[in-house]
Homo-oligomer: A and B are copies of this chain.
Amino acid sequence: MSAQIAALLRRAILTGELEPGAQLVESALAISLGASRGPLREAMRQLVDEGLLVSVPYTGTRVVDISIQDINDIYAMRTCLEQFAFQQIWEQRDEAFKAELLLRNEALKAAIDQADDVGSIEAELDLHGLAYELAGNRILLNSWISLRGHLQMYWASHHRAHGMRGPKRESHDDYVRHALGPSLQAMQDELRDHMRRGLETTKAFVEARTQTKAEDS
């Protein structure tokens, strides 16, 4: 039960259905989910530990509001960890890996073509996830899952609330090309640039938004 609730809430948070800053009241939620407060509390505690919720004693628990500083940190970690992942898998890339990578890039393009923004975000993260999955390091994979969750939440909420656009159709062609190419160093460089571009895009949107907001008031 508590695992199902956790999954349900996690999905609601990650898709932006529950917006950052929204408070989750135990009694109300428990009733609407048809469960008791016990399992619900357990699920919420788990999401707190995953960094998706933040709880202050006797006051309430809310969906975290990720700061631009956090986004900076996340991108720095992504660069580091994804470079590491490719370093680990580089020699063992086989036909199955190449096929899967191309498949996920096609899935990303398909989601974009359907104007499915939440799906595009998921597809992009799935594409990046392949390297982590194949590295065979459980701890590395867990770190990625955590980073992935925060990015997904951030993007989804900004998309929903402020019209942030999803990824572009060709955005990962270079990524895939280098990932299939012969030079690990070239891939490392591409990763560094790819992340830099991604970070700049996100930052630019946030800054433009805060400026608009300032003009409104």
Judge whether A139 is part of the interface by a CB distance below 8 angstroms: yes
Indicate the size class of the contact surface on chain A.
20 to 34
**What is the CA–CA distance of A147 and B74 in the complex, to the nearest angstrom?**
18
Interface of A is mostly: helix
A51-78: CB near B (< 8 Å → 1, else 0) gives 0000000000000000000100110110
Contact residues, A26-61 vs B (CB, 8 A): 38, 41-42, 45-46, 49-50
Nearest CB in chain B to that of A46: its residue: B49
With A46-B45, A49-B49, A80-B84 known as contacts, the answer to whether A140 contacts B38 (CB < 8 A) is: no
Nearest CB in chain B to that of A69: its residue: B138
Judge whether A143 is part of the interface by a CB distance below 8 angstroms: yes
Judge whether A81 is part of the interface by a CB distance below 8 angstroms: yes
**What is the CA–CA distance of A67 and B149 in the complex, to the nearest angstrom?**
27
